[in-house]
Amino acid sequence: MRFCPECGGPAELRSIGGRDRPVCTRCTFVHFSRHNVGVGGVVRRHGRVLLVRRAQEPGRGRWTIPGGFVETDEPFDQAVEREVAEETGIEARVVGVLGVRHRVTPDGSDLYVVFRLQPVDRLVEPHADSGEVDAAGFYTYDEMRSLPNLAEFTRQIVRVALAGRQPFAPVDVPGFSGPGWTFYASTVRCCIPCRVPATALPTSPNRWPEQGRHRCRNRRGRAMATHPGRSGT
């Protein structure tokens, strides 16, 4: 950075906090690296995924999932639901987190959180509803592959979404959970010996049902390894 973003004065590198940072020689403003947070939404309906075509830079003409930046006073789930509705007219609700992408560039740090969403009304058709996109629709994976200018990252996101992997879901944390505070975590239990996901979940994190023990998908229906404090079967 050659000029100060505050007053326009010339900037020079100075060692601050163990790192060289641009400092304005006029107003002494210190430019720290920026951290941007964005969200993307994977909305599935009848084996199809909602995609949009960008009408603005960056990425003009590219097909991708709907999404955008998170406002500083906005929870992640509300941000992605808002972006999906603004860009496609589809009202959807967050199911969980599919993945996170982090990128570091000379200009700062960029965090992108991908959510899985469920449409509120499966009969409503999408339409480009903002100046940011000029087309929107639900596509199968094969149809998506034939789209021109499909972002490769979007292709990978859709593959993960259609693979049937369980998203990280909101988990209640007593004393903390509430508006503006959400913890997303895996709710899938695994077989203790082989770590393959089990086919059922306990009724609560600290309670294992006496009937219908978990079944390991890798053990052809044999009972899951153990109840807490008991030998496996």
Same domain, 100 and 137: yes
Q: How many residues does the chain have?
A: 233
Predicted local confidence at residue 131, as pLDDT: 85
Predicted local confidence at residue 232, as pLDDT: 38
Averaged pLDDT, 29-49: 90
| Domains held by the chain: number | 2
Q: Is the pLDDT of residue 135 over 70?
A: yes
Confirm if 38 and 113 have CB atoms less than 8 A apart. Answer: yes
Q: Which helix (H) or strand (E) holds 154?
A: helix 152-162
Residue where the block lists tokens 């009304």: 121
Inside any domain, residue 181? no
Same domain, 56 and 108: yes
Predicted local confidence at residue 61, as pLDDT: 94
Higher-confidence position of 124 and 21: 124
Predicted local confidence at residue 176, as pLDDT: 78
Averaged pLDDT, 169-191: 76
Same domain, 77 and 143: yes
Same domain, 24 and 95: no
Averaged pLDDT, 53-58: 90
Confirm if 112 and 100 have CB atoms less than 8 A apart. Answer: yes
- Window from 22-31, 139-148, 176-185, 206-215 with minimum mean pLDDT: 206-215
Reported as a single tens digit per residue, the pLDDT across 186-223 is 776 655 555 555 554 444 343 333 333 445 555 544 44
CATH of residue 66's domain is 3.90.79.10
| One-character DSSP codes across 171-228 | E--TTT-BTTB-EEE----B-TTT-PBBSS--SBTTB--SSS--BBTTTTTPBPS--T
Same domain, 18 and 98: no
**The domain boundary residue, chosen from 162, 186, 212:** 162
Inside any domain, residue 57? yes
Inside any domain, residue 65? yes
Residue where the block lists tokens 């996170």: 100
Predicted local confidence at residue 209, as pLDDT: 39
Same domain, 4 and 99: no
- Window from 29-33, 46-50, 156-160 with minimum mean pLDDT: 29-33
Residue 124 neighbours by CB under 8 Å, 6+ apart: 89, 90, 91
Please list the alpha-helical segments (H only) found in 5-151.
76-88, 141-145
User: What pairs with residue 23 in β-bridges?
Assistant: 12, 30
Sign of the CA dihedral 114, 132, 50, 153?
A: negative
Same domain, 15 and 120: no
Q: Give the SS3 label for residue 35.
A: strand
Same domain, 158 and 55: yes
Identity (one letter) of the amino acid at 181?
W
Segments forming the whole domain that contains residue 7: 1-32
Reported as a single tens digit per residue, the pLDDT across 70-121 is 998 899 999 999 999 999 999 999 999 999 998 887 667 889 999 999 999 9
CATH of residue 23's domain is 2.20.70
Closest CA to 193 of 213, 216, 227: 216
Same domain, 60 and 143: yes
User: What pairs with residue 13 in β-bridges?
Assistant: 22
Count the Cβ atoms, other than its own, within 10 Å of residue 57.
7
User: What pairs with residue 30 in β-bridges?
Assistant: 23
Same domain, 13 and 74: no
Same domain, 52 and 99: yes
Q: Is the pLDDT of residue 42 over 50?
A: yes
Same domain, 23 and 129: no
Residue 182 neighbours by CB under 8 Å, 6+ apart: 75, 76, 77, 170
Inside any domain, residue 49? yes
How far apart CA 171 and CA 151 sit, in angstroms, is 32
Look over the chain and give the mean of its residue pLDDT values, rounded to a whole number.
81
How far apart CA 151 and CA 40 sit, in angstroms, is 13
Sign of the CA dihedral 42, 189, 101, 181?
A: positive
Averaged pLDDT, 177-192: 72
Inside any domain, residue 194? no
Averaged pLDDT, 133-146: 94
Predicted local confidence at residue 197, as pLDDT: 57
